[in-house]
Amino acid sequence: MTRPFIPALVMLIAAVAAFFLFPYNLAFLTRILIMIVLVLSLDLVLGFAGIATLGQAAMYGAGAYAAGLFAIHVWADPVAGLLIGALAGGALAALSGAVLMRTQGLTLIMLTIAVAQICAEIANQAREVTGGADGMRGIRPGKVLGLWEFDFIGITGYWYALTIAGLVFAALFVIGRSPFGLSLRGIHESPARMEAIGVSVYRRRLAAYTLGGGIAGIAGALSAQITQLVSLEAFSFTLSAEALIMLILGGTGRLYGAVLGTVIFMAVHHTAAANDPFNWLFVIGALVLAVVFFLPSGIAALPTSLKRLAKGGRHAGS
């Protein structure tokens, strides 16, 4: 029974160790943690429920803008801001999902991209509220729980983001083993059979999409509070695509695959893209093709594949 906790524990120790090993890269480490939350939300939607989406950035951006506006105009409390971000992401996912979850395949993928583009266009047009293409500035989050102030180096930001990422991971861990999570996996495997045994596939998928949207909203809110800036990039297709690539790189439906993929992707990005974003596209393009062709179940599946290989199984590497 303790075995499933070992990967989580290892990751937690690694995260604490990273704080002491890279004290000058806290902003980058925090960025990784925020992306982990986003990719975890995608793992719920795509890895568990099998909803192919290329528009998770829509909910991320909604959470970021909602938390930013809330902090500027209403209350600077960060935790309240996270809740607002989750509500905004969840509400957008529920609203758009009510239509989107009726479609599938190409239409679904295309509509998820379209929703994110509509959001970007609205944020761009509502210049007085959102700052348009200049981005939203002036977000000054208050102390976390009234105790810890956000500092210039990012120490508070790191522990704050780590706590939230840990809580999201734990929540998804529980959800994944709950009857709801198992029914999502069933829908992923065979929607027709789940429908036949009396499950409302549409409602479960909508619930998963909404929940995933709420978590993506939390990631957006975290980013708004810690970087104190929200830009139209929050809604960009590139963000959705990169989140998807991180998830596939790590392996879907496993949670720790999402964490692993994000860390590796962000580390490669950090080293390869620092000088030229276009050459970065060469790296990412080649990386994606390599994963799809040679590592279709992601890095998290490597140990299982290797074990099978060692035992001489016939389906090694599948």
Q: Which is nearer to other proteins, 178 or 200 (CB)?
A: 200
223-240 burial string, b = 16+ CB within 10 Å, else e?
bbbbbbbbbbebbbeebb
Candidate list 282, 306, 309, 318; residue touching other proteins; CB under 8 A: 282
241 near other proteins (CB under 8 A)? yes
If one counts every other C-beta atom within 10 angstroms of the C-beta of residue 157, the result is 28
Q: At closest approach, how far in Å is the CB of 20 from other proteins?
A: 36
What one-character-per-residue DSSP string does the chain give? --TTHHHHHHHHHHHHHHHHH-GGGHHHHHHHHHHHHHHHHHIIIIIIT----S-HHHHHHHHHHHHHHHHHHT---HHHHHHHHHHHHHHHHHHHHHHHTT--HHHHHHHHHHHHHHHHHHHHH-HHHH-GGG-B-------BTTTBPPPSS-HHHHHHHHHHHHHHHHHHHHHHHSHHHHHHHHHHH-HHHHHHTT--HHHHHHHHHHHHHHHHHHHHHHHHHHH--B-GGGG-HHHHHHHHHHHHHH-TTSSHHHHHHHHHHHHHHHHHSSS-HHHHHHHHHHHHHHHHHH-TT-GGGHHHHHHHHHHT-TTTT-
Cα separation values, 26 from 21, 143, 161, 219, Å: 10, 19, 11, 17
Stretch that binds other proteins, among 128-136, 158-166, 254-262, 290-298 (CB under 8 A): 290-298
Candidate list 105, 179, 198, 303; residue touching other proteins; CB under 8 A: 105
Say if residues 60 and 216 touch (Cβ distance below 8 Å): yes
244 near other proteins (CB under 8 A)? yes
Q: Which is nearer to other proteins, 221 or 246 (CB)?
A: 246
291 near other proteins (CB under 8 A)? yes
266 near other proteins (CB under 8 A)? no
Candidate list 110, 145, 267, 309; residue touching other proteins; CB under 8 A: 110
Q: At closest approach, how far in Å is the CB of 217 from other proteins?
A: 20
Candidate list 117, 228, 304, 305; residue touching other proteins; CB under 8 A: 117
296 near other proteins (CB under 8 A)? yes
122 near other proteins (CB under 8 A)? yes
**Binding footprint of other proteins, residue count (CB under 8 A):** 41
Residues 11-50 interacting with other proteins (rule: CB under 8 A): 46
168 near other proteins (CB under 8 A)? no
Q: At closest approach, how far in Å is the CB of 241 from other proteins?
A: 6
Stretch that binds other proteins, among 162-170, 188-196, 263-271, 280-288 (CB under 8 A): 280-288
Candidate list 285, 306, 307, 313; residue touching other proteins; CB under 8 A: 285
58 near other proteins (CB under 8 A)? no
94 near other proteins (CB under 8 A)? no
Candidate list 20, 24, 152, 278; residue touching other proteins; CB under 8 A: 278
Q: Which is nearer to other proteins, 24 or 278 (CB)?
A: 278
If one counts every other C-beta atom within 10 angstroms of the C-beta of residue 170, the result is 12
Interface residues with other proteins (CB under 8 A) are 46, 52, 54, 99, 102-107, 109-111, 113-115, 117-118, 121-122, 125, 237-238, 241, 244-245, 248, 278-279, 281-282, 284-289, 291-293, 296
